[in-house]
Amino acid sequence: MFTGTAIFDLLLPGDSRSLKAKRSYIRPVIAALRKIEVAVAEVGAQDLHGRAEIGVAVIAAESGHVTAVLDACERTVVGHPEFDLLSVRRRLYGEDD
């Protein structure tokens, strides 16, 4: 069994000066990631208006499948041009039995 996580650090546009505006940028990305069937949440920078961190987690029987799902998540986030992806931190947990 393998578990993979990814944290996406996002720079939001200058017009996201309120938490309500910030959520309007984050909500569509989270909805798109949920379609990939991963656990997803805003996990950091929650009080900063111009930044966001979105975390995803996936579990699978094979490490290759976990990597493929995390790749799909990254493509989904990059596909939203309304903000900049500053960094991605990935981790893969597990071992073959």
Q: Domain boundaries in the chain?
A: 2-90
Q: What radius of gyration, in Å, describes the C-alpha atoms of the chain?
A: 14
pLDDT above 90 covers a percentage of the chain that reads 55
Assess whether pLDDT exceeds 90 at residue 8: yes
Q: What is the model's pLDDT at position 16? A: 65
Assigned token pair, 95? 């071992």
**CATH topology classification for 2-90:** Alpha-Beta Plaits (3.30.70)
Q: What is the model's pLDDT at position 97? A: 45
**Residue range 49-74: mean pLDDT, rounded:** 92
Residue 8: phi, psi to the nearest 5? -100, 120
Q: Please spell the DSSP secondary structure of 18-83, one letter per residue.
A: SHHHHHHHHHHHHHHHHTTT-EEEEEE-TT-SSEEEEEEEEEESSHHHHHHHHHHHHHHHHT-TTS
